[in-house]
């Protein structure tokens, strides 16, 4: 399922807000739901609320009382598509005496299949069949994701059995533990076969018996891929290399503590204890591992502030990396980062702003018809200074200190040009001016003649 639109009549600062989340005319996917969406805006414009609202109406994956009242949420309409159906729905609450245990149900509006209106029962039957094979349907990563790499066994959940996964309610380390259990089983089997070889080597005088045992190990390795190597190649190493780290793929068995662990090492082969891994390293590991483990297909994936604790060079690649771990899924990212925003086409950006009455509206990046040719700004082609000005509406990206330095530098340059014309550049005063000019130019990262 992919969201095509959301209409919010009245929820907090959202008043009569309609968001079109489809590709514009002139695009190869014109009229289809966007594959990824970037939500930006000032603090307080409802970016996180919008993420949660989308997940609630889509698959009831959050508690509605985190967002607003029942009366407000019942008015929200979500347009969506699945397979060859296009429909819209809203969530409703059954009337029960216990207000704290309201049951929810969906109310569907007009449904189309390949442009033709279809019977409600037929569409719902298709929807039930569709959702029966999707697991998980939504994965939500909050901004305050828990980055601990230790978990009590009583808290473990089998994430692969959950329809909706909300990491503000569940610990992301559940993924880590599931993977470690798989690693442990593999490594125990490898040690068992190694021990068999060792016993044969101790007793056998026949070299062929030893060779046969070694071939058994080679055959097992070929038929049973290492989960550690798979995680390294397909998930973690492409990210960890940005920190000068990699997954330790070689089993160096010294004791029981070496079994069932995913170890990280630097490029020199030195192990890095989990407690010494940076917050950014843990973040990319625990935000990527669920996608690797669950292999989401046709899933709705929502990240709140994915840039947290990440250096700019990694922010530039993280969006495409997340997308590469899934199949036919739809991503929603809420961010304050101009670097994250630069990964998106202009029609994929939802910029939320306050109007003069403090109601929220979407700032459009096109004039006239919603056509690719009518977009007047594209963050993919802008440097980060221009993204801050054009996309994030920061009128002045310079500090007062920088502005004052630029003014002084300009005045010094004029003085140097005058002294040069008069042939007085070798005087003590001129040398003092030139020295000051070069110092300021270096601080401003300006090239000097």
pTM over 0.75: yes
pLDDT at position 322 is 93
What architecture (CATH level 2) is domain 2-134+297-390?
Answer: 3-Layer(aba) Sandwich (3.40)
Q: What is the mean pLDDT of the chain?
A: 83
Distance in angstroms (rounded) separating the CA atoms of residues 11 and 29: 31
Q: How far is CA 194 from the centre of its chain?
A: 41
Identify any residues that bridge with 290 across adjacent strands, giving them in sequence order.
none
Kind and range of the H or E run holding 103: none
pLDDT tens-digit readout, 267-325 = 998 988 878 888 888 888 888 888 988 889 999 999 999 988 788 888 888 999 999 99
Q: In this predicted structure, what is the pLDDT of residue 204?
A: 63
Classify the phi-psi angles of 374: left when phi > 0, otherwise alpha if psi is within -120 to 50, otherwise beta: alpha
**Would you state the structure tokens that stand for residue 61, as one six-digit string?**
């994956």
Regarding beta strands 245-247 and 116-117, do their DSSP bridges make them parallel or antiparallel, or are they unpaired? unpaired
Q: What's the DSSP call for residue 235?
A: I
At 328, the pLDDT band (50, 70, 90 cuts) reads very high
Asked if residue 38 lies in contact with residue 333, where contact means CB atoms within 8 angstroms, the answer is yes
| Alpha-carbon span 214 to 202, nearest angstrom | 14
Task: Give the Cα separation of 388 and 423 in Å (integer).
Answer: 44
Predicted local confidence at residue 166, as pLDDT: 85
pLDDT tens digits, 11-68: 989 999 999 999 999 999 999 999 999 999 988 899 999 998 888 888 765 566 778 8
């Amino acid at each position: 399922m992919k969201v095509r639109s959301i209409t919010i009549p009245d929820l907090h600062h959202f008043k009569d807000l309609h968001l079109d989340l489809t590709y514009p005319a002139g695009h190869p996917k014109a009229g289809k739901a966007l594959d990824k969406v970037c939500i930006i805006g000032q603090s307080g414009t409802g970016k996180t609320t919008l993420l949660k609202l989308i997940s609630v109406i889509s698959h009831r994956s959050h508690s509605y009382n985190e967002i607003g009242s029942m009366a407000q949420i019942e008015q929200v309409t979500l347009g969506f598509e699945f397979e060859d159906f296009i429909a819209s729905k809203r969530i409703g609450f059954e009337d029960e005496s216990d207000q704290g245990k309201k049951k929810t149900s969906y109310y569907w509006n007009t449904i189309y299949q390949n442009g033709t209106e279809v019977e409600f029962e037929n569409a719902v039957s298709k929807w039930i069949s569709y959702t029966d094979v999707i697991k998980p349907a939504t994965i939500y990563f909050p901004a305050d994701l828990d980055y601990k790499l230790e978990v009590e066994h009583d808290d473990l959940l089998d994430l692969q059995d959950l329809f909706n996964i909300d990491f503000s309610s569940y610990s992301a380390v559940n993924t880590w533990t599931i993977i470690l259990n798989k690693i442990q089983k593999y490594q125990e089997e490898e040690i068992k076969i190694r021990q068999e070889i060792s016993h044969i080597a101790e007793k056998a005088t026949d070299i062929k018996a030893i060779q046969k045992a070694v071939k058994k190990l080679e055959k097992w390795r070929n038929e049973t891929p290492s989960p550690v190597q798979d995680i390294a190649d397909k998930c973690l190493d492409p990210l960890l290399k940005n920190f000068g780290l990699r997954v330790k793929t070689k089993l160096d068995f010294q004791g029981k503590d070496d079994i069932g662990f995913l170890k990280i090492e630097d490029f020199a082969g030195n192990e890095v204890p989990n407690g010494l891994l940076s917050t950014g390293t843990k973040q990319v590991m625990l935000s990527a591992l669920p996608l690797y483990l669950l292999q989401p297909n046709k899933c709705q994936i929502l990240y709140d502030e994915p840039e947290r604790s990440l250096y700019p060079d990694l922010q530039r690649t993280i969006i495409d990396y997340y997308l590469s771990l899934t199949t036919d899924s739809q991503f929603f990212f809420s961010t304050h980062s101009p670097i994250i925003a630069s990964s998106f086409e202009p029609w994929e950006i939802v910029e939320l702003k306050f109007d003069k009455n403090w109601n929220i509206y979407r700032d459009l990046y096109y004039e006239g018809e919603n056509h690719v040719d009518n977009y007047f700004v594209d963050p993919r082609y802008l440097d980060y200074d221009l993204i801050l000005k054009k996309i994030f509406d920061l009128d002045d990206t310079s500090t007062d200190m920088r502005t004052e330095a630029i003014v002084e530098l300009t005045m010094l340059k004029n003085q140097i040009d005058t002294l040069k014309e008069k042939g007085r550049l070798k005087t003590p005063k001129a040398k003092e001016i030139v020295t000051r000019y070069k110092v300021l130019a270096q601080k401003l990262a300006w090239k000097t003649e």
